[in-house]
A and B are shown apart, each in its own frame.
Chain A
Amino acid sequence: MAKTKVLMTGNEAIAQGAIDAGCRFYAGYPITPQNELIAYMAVHLSASGGIFIQAESELAAINMVFGAAAAGERAMTSSSSPGISLKQEGISYMAGAELPGVIVNVMRGGPGLGNISPSQADYFQATRGGGHGDYRCIVLAPSTVQEAYDFMNLGFDLADKYRNPVMVLADGMLGQMAEPLKTQNSKSKTQNYKKPWALTGCKGRKPNIIRSLYLAEGALEGLNLKLQEKYRAVSQKEQRYENTHLEGAEIILVAYGSMARIARSAMRRLREKGRKIGMIRPVTLWPFPINAFSKHLTPNTKYLVVEMSYGQMVEDVRLAVDGKCAVKFFGRAGGGIPTEEEIIRYAENI
C-alpha cells in the first residue's frame, strides 16, 4: 500500500498504526482520554478481519492479550492511568511467560481516579516494571501523532523480537490532538517473526507450554537470569533518542512526549535570544537512552528536566549524568502543564 496522508487524532493514529502493523487482536475497556482508540478498533480492526473484544474489565482485557499472544497473534490493549494500574498483574505474567504484546497508556492525572487532563506521572510505573517481580517493559514515548502511528509498528516488532511486553506511553494531549500523518501498511513484517512456542495444538510436535511458574530448585533463578540477559541486550541495542543543538550547549533541556514539544518551543525562543541551549528527547524511556548524554557531560553543562509530573524521569537523567553535571527540574502535574514561559523563566534563572 502506498503512503496515504490523513488527519487523525493521536488515539486514532495509535489504533490505525496497530492495524497497519498487523495487530489482529484488541481487547480493551472504556476510559477517558483514550476512548477514541477503542471505538476506532471496534470499527476498523473488525473490518480488517481482526478480533475486537470489549472486555468486562481491565484485568480481563490484559489477560485476553495474554491469551491471544500465547496463541501467536499480534495483540494489544489500551487504557489510561487507573486502568493501566489494574493491568499490571497481567503485564507481569506476560513478562514472566515471555509473551509479546503492546500496551498503550494514554496517561491522565493521578493519583487515584485523578482527572482526565494530560499527565506524565506514570513514568515510574512504566519504566520500573509496574507489576510484581524483576522485569522490564520496553517503553516508547511518541511526541507527535506521526510517531504515535509509527511506534505501534516499532512496538510490535520489538515485542516479537524480544518476546517481551512493550508499552507505548502517550498522554491525554497527544491522544486528543489531531495532526496530519502518513500511514503505510507494513503488515509483511509480521512474517519476520516465527513463533514456534505459540499454542496452536501439538500436531507434529511436542506440546508447548506457556508458563511463569517455576517451582523446581533454581528454575526461577534461571528464568530471571535469562530475562536479565535479554534486558541487557535491549539496553545495548534499542536506546532511541533525539538530540538537538547539543554542541556547545550550556543548558540541555530533557523532555519526552507532548512535553518535549513545549520544551522545544521554549528552546527555540531562548536560542533566538542567543542562549546556548539544546535538548535531549528520550524516545525509549526504558531502556533509558544514556548514550544520548555520554558526550555531553562537561562540568559547565547544566541539565533542565521538564515533566508533567513532580519529578520522575529526572531520576534517570541523574543516573545517566552520574554526578558530572548539575541536574535541575521543573514540573507540574495533576492537570498543570508547564508552559513555554515557565520553562524559559526557569532556564534563564539557572
Chain B
Amino acid sequence: MQKIFSHPKSLRDVTTHYCPGCGHGIAHRIVAEAVDELDIREKVIAVAPVGCAVIAYDYWDFDCSEAAHGRTLAVATAIKRVRPDNIVFTYQGDGDLAAIGTNETIHAANRGENLTVIFINNAVYGMTGGQMAPTTLLGQKTATTPAGREASLQGYPLKISEMLANLAAVKYVERVSLHSPQEVIKAKQAVKQAFQNQIDKVGFSLVEILSPCPTYWSLPPKEALTWIKEVMTKEYPLGRIK
C-alpha cells in the first residue's frame, strides 16, 4: 500500500504551545511540507521573529536563528549573503515585519535579497496580549484600541505587501489565507513557489498569510475562520499581488 500522507520530516513531533484555533500550527506545517517536498531540509536556515512564533525552532527540525524584534530580515540578509547556497527564509508576524521592522523589511526587499519571507498577518499582537498591529482593521477592538481602531487616531490598516510589490527588486508577492482547506492548499502552493524562487535565484519573494487568532479576536476558532473570509479578505484581497 502506498503511503500518501504522513508527518513532515521537517516538523518535530511535539506538543504545540499555540492557542486552540491559532493559525501558526497550520502555517508551520505548510512550511515543513514545502521544505520536505523540495528536498531542501538540510540546506534550510530559518530566522524566527519576536512574537508568538519566536520558538518556531521547537517545531521545525532544521537550522534556525532568533532575531531581535523587527531585525529578522537584516539577520536573514547576512546569513544568505554568507551562505548563498543555503535556503534562507524568515517567518514574521505583522508587528515584526510591518511595525518595528518596517525599515529592515523595505530595505531587504529593495536590495532584492534572494530570500523567502513568510508573513503571518493576524491583525493583532498575539504574544503580548492582543494589542493593535499595523494590520489591525478599522473598528477592530484590541487591548490598545478598546473602542476599535479609528482612522483619525491610529491610521489605516497597513498594506505592506502592496507597498513592497511596488519595488523593482521584489519578484513575487502573494496573499493567501488559512480559512478553509482549499485556501490552505493554495497557501502551501504559494509558500512552495516562494521557496522555488529562491532555489532558482529569482529574488525577494513574500507570501502573506491571513491567519486566525481566535484568542485576541475574542471569537471561537470556527467563527475566526469565517471572520477572515467575510471581513479580513475585504481589506486584504487574496491572490497574486506581484
Contacts and interface: CB of A to CB of B under 8 A. Distances in A.
B47 to A, nearest CB: 8
B57 to A, nearest CB: 5
A60 B82 contact: no
Nearest to A27: B78
Given A93-B68, A201-B45, A67 B63 contact: no
Given A25-B81, A64-B77, A71 B67 contact: no
Interface residues of A, number: 40
Contacts of B86: 199-201
A67 B78 contact: yes
Interface in A92-108: 93, 97
Contacts of A70: 65, 75, 78-79
Interface stretch (A48-56, A142-150, A163-171): A48-56
B54 interface: yes
B61 A207 contact: yes
B82 A71 contact: yes
Given A71-B45, A201-B43, A213 B63 contact: no
B71 interface: yes
Given A71-B45, A90-B68, A202-B41, A207 B57 contact: yes
B83 interface: yes
B76 interface: yes
B199 to A, nearest CB: 13
Contacts, number: 133
A199 B67 contact: no
Interface string B40-61: 0111110100000011010011
Contacts of A211: 57, 65-66
Contacts of B75: 63-64, 66-67, 70
Contacts of B74: 55, 59-61, 63-64, 66-67
A109 B10 CA distance: 51
A25 B82 contact: yes
Contacts of A90: 68, 71
A213 B65 contact: no
A36 interface: no
A111 B64 CA distance: 38
B68 A97 contact: no
B82 A73 contact: yes
A63 B104 contact: yes
A75 interface: yes
Contacts of B83: 71, 199-201
A59 B64 CA distance: 21
B63 A201 contact: yes
Contacts of A301: none
B107 interface: yes
Interface residues of B, number: 34
A56 B71 CA distance: 11
Contacts of A202: 41-42, 44, 61-63
B82 A68 contact: yes
A281 interface: no
Given A56-B104, A56-B107, A213 B42 contact: no
B63 A66 contact: no
B61 to A, nearest CB: 6
A24 B54 CA distance: 29
A55 B103 CA distance: 10
Contact of A56 (B64, B66, B82, B103): B103
A78 to B, nearest CB: 16
A1 interface: no
B65 A203 contact: no
A250 interface: no
B67 A66 contact: yes
Nearest to B44: A201
Contact of B78 (A59, A71, A200): A71
A84 to B, nearest CB: 16
A212 interface: yes
A340 B45 CA distance: 55
Given A53-B77, A53-B81, A213-B55, A203 B68 contact: no
B75 to A, nearest CB: 4
Counting chain A CB atoms within 10 Å of each CB, the highest count among B43, B82, B103 belongs to B82
The 6 closest A-B pairs by CB, nearest first: A67-B78, A63-B71, A203-B42, A67-B75, A56-B107, A63-B74
18 contacts: A24-B82, A25-B78, A27-B78, A55-B74, A66-B67, A66-B75, A67-B47, A67-B79, A70-B78, A71-B45, A93-B67, A93-B68, A199-B63, A201-B45, A201-B86, A209-B63, A210-B66, A211-B57
Given A70-B65, A73-B82, A210-B65, 10 more contacts: A51-B82, A55-B107, A56-B103, A60-B107, A61-B74, A66-B74, A67-B79, A70-B78, A199-B63, A207-B62
Interface of A: 24-25, 27, 51, 53, 55-57, 59-61, 63-68, 70-73, 75, 89-90, 93, 97, 199-204, 207-213, 215
